[in-house]
Amino acid sequence: MINKLLIVICTQAKTDKEFEQKQISLSLKKQYESNSNVNFHIFKDNKKGLGLCYNEILKDPNNLDKIALFVHDDVVLEDIFLYEKLMFSPYSITGLAGTKSFNKKADKMAWHLASNGREDFVGEVAHVNQSKQAWTTVFGPTQSRALIVDGLFIACKVKDLVDNDLYFDEQFEWHHYDMSFCLRANEKKVKVGVLPIKVLHYGLGDSMLSSEWEESNKKFKEIYCK
């Protein structure tokens, strides 16, 4: 029986003091440390790929009875019912936003650009810009099946994944790990979806401007777009 939530964060922060400056830290302290059913695993000073770290959690037999929430350190978890929503999620993999389709012919392999159209978007996410203004982007239905969900927040029922031999593709360290993971889940008929869970994301979404992203995009297309 699943009754434990393990929140997993990979961060470049080297010390506890540095980690306390990350957006995720405040929400962990204020809302979840008092819940005995919630634990944390923080990869500090992390230089390993996200897929490698996440698989370490999934392959640990002590986590079979848990939901592992893989979340970025620039996210504030504001939903006071986070634990309950994930415990009763109808999905083996739960995200916040994504798409129900995938266009292999797209040039840019980000979920919102590789979808067949906005009518296939699902979920919603609140963002904060550099001026500290917050707004919610509503992509579509916020309790819905999905093919791909955004990697800023991916909650997994560990046993469901292990039973289906489903893990992250470690070839993708910082980009496309979420898309490749969800496509592999679809191949194995593992249910993916989004739920209305309140967070604030401080990320600017500018990683696509980097040469690293372009290289990852090329590799992803070679493997998953044949």
Domains contained in the chain, CATH given: 4-224 (3.90.550.10)
Predicted confidence (pLDDT) per residue in 114-170, tens digit: 999 999 999 999 999 778 889 999 999 999 999 999 999 999 999 999 999 999 999
- pLDDT of residue 194 exceeding 90, the answer is yes
Pairwise CA distance, residues 49 & 32, whole Å: 26
Confidence bin at 205 (pLDDT 50/70/90): low
Count how many residues are written for the chain: 226
> What is the predicted pLDDT for the residue at 130?
77
pLDDT over threshold 70, residue 196: yes
Q: Give the H/E segment covering residue 58.
A: helix 50-58
SS3 20: coil
Q: What is the pTM of this model?
A: 0.95
Phi, psi of 73 (to 5 degrees): -80, 0
pLDDT confidence of residue 206: 64
Q: What's the distance, Cα to Cα, between the start and end of the chain in Å?
A: 39
Residue 217 has pLDDT above 70, yes or no: yes
Question: What confidence score (pLDDT) does residue 203 get?
Answer: 79
Across-strand partners of 144? Answer: 194
Give pLDDT tens digits for 16-74: 999 999 999 988 877 677 788 999 999 999 999 999 999 999 999 999 999 999 999 99
